[in-house]
Structure 1
Amino acid sequence: MAQTRRAGAPKAGSSGPKGPRILKKYPNRRLYDTEISSYITLADVKEMVLAGKAFEVRDAKTNEDLTRSILLQIILEEETGGVPIFSTSMLSQIIRFYGHAMQGMMGSYLEKNLQTFTDIQARIAEQSKGLYDPKTQNPEMWAQFLNGQAPIVQNLMGNYLEQSRNMFVQMQEQVAKQAETLFPAIPGLKPPPREKP
């Protein structure tokens, strides 16, 4: 007797769905996961983000991409629920960049900085991996780890700040070059000289 498979379930013997997991958003504001053929919550979507799973949220009727909207909803819930990452001042500054000539550059600058910070976090986590094994935990090991972290963190943060400064200088140079191209007759719009390392 032939078995029927769930709608959206991968075929037997296949390696699973190709591309990102598709979530459909219906007019009743519910999210439907096509991979597991079931409705899910925003908390489930947050778990996918934390697990690093690729997904897209699509409007069930128009197929419009709503992924950013759902991610912003998750951020809003996190910001109002616990200890927020964004201060009121920081949010105000971000809002001021919308519609500004520097909006695209600011987005790129923030994204690169966040990636650098994530890389630093991953390196620290890798160095402390052995400390989470209960068999190897002892007070001396923790003391050595914590004593060794200060110079490592200082070095990593120093690199992070240097990369951030370099990105900002590049952004300044781009703006100056654009201004010089747009307004060649105005003196003083030359890019600032780069500091020698």
Structure 2
Amino acid sequence: MAEIQIKRYNNRKLYDTVNRCYVTLEDIADYIANGNSVRVVDHESGQDLTTMILAQVIVDQERRLGGLIPRALLTRLIRIGEMRLEDLSESLQAFLAPQEFVNRHIRLRLERLRARGDLSEEEFERWLISLLDPEIENPEARPEKASLASEKNNAEIDHLWRELEALERAVDALARSPKA
């Protein structure tokens, strides 16, 4: 899909330069939901405001819909704020694509062992084959199985989110209950 350029004016109005109309945060959310990328710049300075506007979109959706983002995730993002950018990127990748993260780190560690001479080339190849998930390394090899695995992973992630939210509610209820 296309990248939609949006200008933000001093009066905080947002103008879609592609479709030539003023837009709301909800419109921007719709653009993204439809597969478009959005870039927001300040009309006068040209400063990129995309991240700030996307954060506002999330806040707006949370206000309208409620329960969009689990409190635990928001708390973790705030705590991560002190970390270096690479650490944040690593944490998000591990959270959003755990198998790719694991495969990348397995490969990295095996390459270090090979470079140090602790693994021969044959051992390196054998361990790669043994440890790496072939569907992650080469998803074209078995697309039907990869699709089923992806659906299963999505269902598991949804289940884990529901459990996390239930635990969060239970902790909140315990925190509000009178002490005995």
Give the TM-score normalised by structure 1.
Answer: 0.47
1:165-196 deviations in Å (ceiling 9; x for gaps) = 56257559979xxxxxxxxxxxxxxxxxx9x5
1:21 lines up with 2:1 in the alignment: no
- Offset of 1:66 from its aligned partner? 1.2
Question: CA-atom RMSD, angstroms?
Answer: 3.2
2:94 is aligned, of 93, 109, 117, to 109
Distance in 2 of aligned mates of 1:56 and 1:103: 22
Equivalent position of 1:54 in the other structure? 37
1:112-161 deviations in Å (ceiling 9; x for gaps) = x2xxxxxxxxxxxxxxxxxxxxxxxxxxxxxxxxxxxxxxxxxxxxxxxx
Distance in 2 of aligned mates of 1:99 and 1:169: 27
Equivalent position of 2:18 in the other structure? 35
Q: Tell me which of the two structures has the higher relative contact order, counting C-alpha pairs closer than 8 angstroms and 6 or more residues apart.
A: 2
Equivalent position of 2:52 in the other structure? 69
1:94 lines up with 2:77 in the alignment: yes
Distance in 2 of aligned mates of 1:38 and 1:165: 42
Residue 30 to residue 87, structure 1, CA distance change in 2 (3 Å):
same
Equivalent position of 2:101 in the other structure? 167
Equivalent position of 2:157 in the other structure? none
Give the TM-score normalised by structure 2.
Answer: 0.50
Show structure 2 runs of 5+ residues with no match: 110-127, 132-180
Percent identity of the aligned residues?
A: 24
How many residues matched?
113
Residue 21 to residue 62, structure 1, CA distance change in 2 (3 Å):
same
Residue 174 to residue 75, structure 1, CA distance change in 2 (3 Å):
farther
Q: Name the SS of the counterpart of 2:45 in structure 1.
A: coil
Residue 44 to residue 95, structure 1, CA distance change in 2 (3 Å):
same
1:67-126 deviations in Å (ceiling 9; x for gaps) = 121111111112232242322222112221122242231133345x2xxxxxxxxxxxxx
Moved over 3 A (4+): 168-175
Query: Counting helix residues as a fraction of each chain, which structure ranks higher?
Result: 2
